[in-house]
Amino acid sequence: MEAPITLPTTTDRASIYAALHPQVEALLATSPDAISAMANLSAALHAAFGWHWVGFYRVVGNELVLGPFQGPVACTRIGFGKGVCGSAWQQERTMVVPDVELFPGHIACSSLSRSEIVVPLRNGAGKVVAVLDVDSTEVADFDTLDAEQLAMLCAPVEALLG
């Protein structure tokens, strides 16, 4: 059985990330499979921060297809350059959107989402093959700390992406 994730009793996000790193690394080290790793990382992040929606979309052909996630049901397919996820894929960069209502073309899977961060995941050849999408019910809930820390937490998943 996998050890449960234990977290400090603080709302300080940097401290929560610091506690998460070794545990996520140990958890993902038990998985030889990218989908399992995405599933457990989604669960760990959702439990740690209580965000509205945490999950992955994978590049399949010419679109993003819904992968493992935690939260309400979501759109299953997103085109290249569409919404925040498709834009992060197209621009090959992390996108932090403080207010989704001000983002042209935002795909509203849930009307409760107010801000969002999308982190691209690359395979060994440097090609974007998936994205991590995190949605919050709070406006401006994400900043450069999240961009940096979430990218670091995704590194073990990227290592499984070929």
Q: By CB under 6 A, name the binding residues for ligand SME.
A: 53, 74-75, 78, 83-85, 106-107, 109, 113, 116, 133, 135
Smallest Cα–Cα separation from 27: which of 158, 156, 159?
156
- Shortest reach from residue 152's CB to ligand SME, in Å: 22
CB neighbourhood size of 136 (10 A): 22
- Shortest reach from residue 77's CB to ligand SME, in Å: 10
Residue with tokens 């991590």: 132
Please name the residue ranges forming H helices in the chain.
13-29, 34-49, 83-91, 144-158
- Shortest reach from residue 100's CB to ligand SME, in Å: 6
User: In the bound complex, which residue of the shown chain has the CB atom lying closest to ligand SME?
Assistant: 83
Nearer residue to ligand SME within complex by CB, 52 or 161: 52
Nearer residue to ligand SME within complex by CB, 17 or 51: 51
Residue with tokens 């300080």: 12
Q: What is the dihedral of CA 132, 136, 140, 143, to 10 degrees?
A: -30
- Shortest reach from residue 1's CB to ligand SME, in Å: 30
Nearer residue to ligand SME within complex by CB, 90 or 123: 90
Nearer residue to ligand SME within complex by CB, 109 or 154: 109
**Cα–Cα distance, 101 to 160 (Å, whole number):** 34
